[in-house]
Amino acid sequence: MTSLPRRVPFCQRRPHVGIAVVVAVVAALASGCSSSSGSSSTTQGGKASTTTTQPLTGFAAQSPQAILAAGCGATQPLSSVAVATTFSKPSLVGGVSSMAWSMSTAANAGTLHYGKKTVVQSIVIPFVTYVKAPASWWATTTASAGATALGGRWISIGQTSTYAPIAQPMISFSNLASLLTNCLPTGQQVVKGRLGSVGSAETINVAVQAGFTTQTFSIPTTSIPYILKSVMLSAQVGQETSLLSGFNTQKKIAAPAPATPIEAALAG
């Protein structure tokens, strides 16, 4: 079956991904503008928390923990957001090269691109996932025997269906909470990097590290601190780069009609 690896928190990753780096908890997360110089600073445990020597002022001069808290605090409650993701090593994620999702609290919809030709559409709502894909894609799944009957149609897969594992990767990657899984690091090192930009917005990078896995968030310095970019680098997926936009402006998503339950489509 063609599938994608399920995202899991750092604390649940298997040992071969890397051993979590344990550092002392910083006493004050919101330490304000603790320094305007941008020179390297350290946590109470002696681990460097700032790597840049750029002059930093205002929001960017705060501790990495405070910047991360502000970015996650603004982004996690969003009612909708557009997320475009690319993978550097499609072979590690079931052949998927890119994804484009509209995520909301009610339903999430998007497309998955396998190489340059195969496109799979998906709508994820509580307890049911809807999939529209060519027969060639269905032929790579556990429903391969009925690939011709399933191809080109909206097919629904219930949470308790025997075929639910086909939809599980889509549920994982379409979920904003999953994308922001490292917003609340437990024992991981948080490091502030250099100033950069996403589009026209100046950003400051903050990375959460655990062993050989790193997730870097790019957060704007002069506007609402919505996370504009996430880069996940790990042995599981290679490099996963996500761009976030369209905050709270996405159209309402509904289940497609008509859609046929996968069991009925296969039986027919």
Residue 81 lies in a domain: no
* Total structural domains within the chain: 1
* Residues 28, 34: Cα–Cα separation, whole Å: 11
* Residues 44, 132: Cα–Cα separation, whole Å: 52
Q: What is the pLDDT along the chain (268 residues), one digit of tens a residue?
A: 555 554 543 333 322 222 222 222 222 223 333 333 343 444 433 344 777 777 899 999 999 999 999 999 999 999 999 999 999 999 888 889 999 999 987 889 999 999 878 999 999 999 999 999 999 999 999 999 999 999 999 999 999 999 999 998 888 888 898 899 888 777 788 999 999 999 999 999 999 987 788 999 999 999 999 999 999 999 888 999 999 999 999 998 999 999 999 999 999 8
pLDDT in the model for residue 8: 44
Assess contact for 1 and 166: CB atoms under 8 A: yes
* Residues 118, 115: Cα–Cα separation, whole Å: 7
* Residues 208, 267: Cα–Cα separation, whole Å: 48
Residue 1 lies in a domain: no
What's the whole-model pTM score? 0.81
Residue-number span of the structural domain to which 161 is assigned: 86-177+253-267
Residue 152 lies in a domain: yes
- Cβ neighbour number for residue 143 with a 10 Å cutoff: 22
pLDDT in the model for residue 268: 83
Those residues with Cβ within 8 angstroms of residue 264's Cβ, 6 or more apart along the chain or in another chain: none
Residue 77 lies in a domain: no
Sole residue written with tokens 């840049």: 52
- Which of 263, 259, 248, 249 lies closest to 77, judged by CA? 248
Six token digits for residue 244: 């976030």
Sole residue written with tokens 């086909």: 166
- Report angle CA 145, 146, 147 to the nearest 5 degrees: 100
* Residues 268, 263: Cα–Cα separation, whole Å: 9
* Residues 163, 150: Cα–Cα separation, whole Å: 13
Residue 258 lies in a domain: yes
Residue 129 lies in a domain: yes
| Residue 124 phi, psi (nearest 5) | -115, 120
pLDDT in the model for residue 5: 54
pLDDT in the model for residue 115: 82
Residue 62 lies in a domain: no
Residue 204 lies in a domain: no
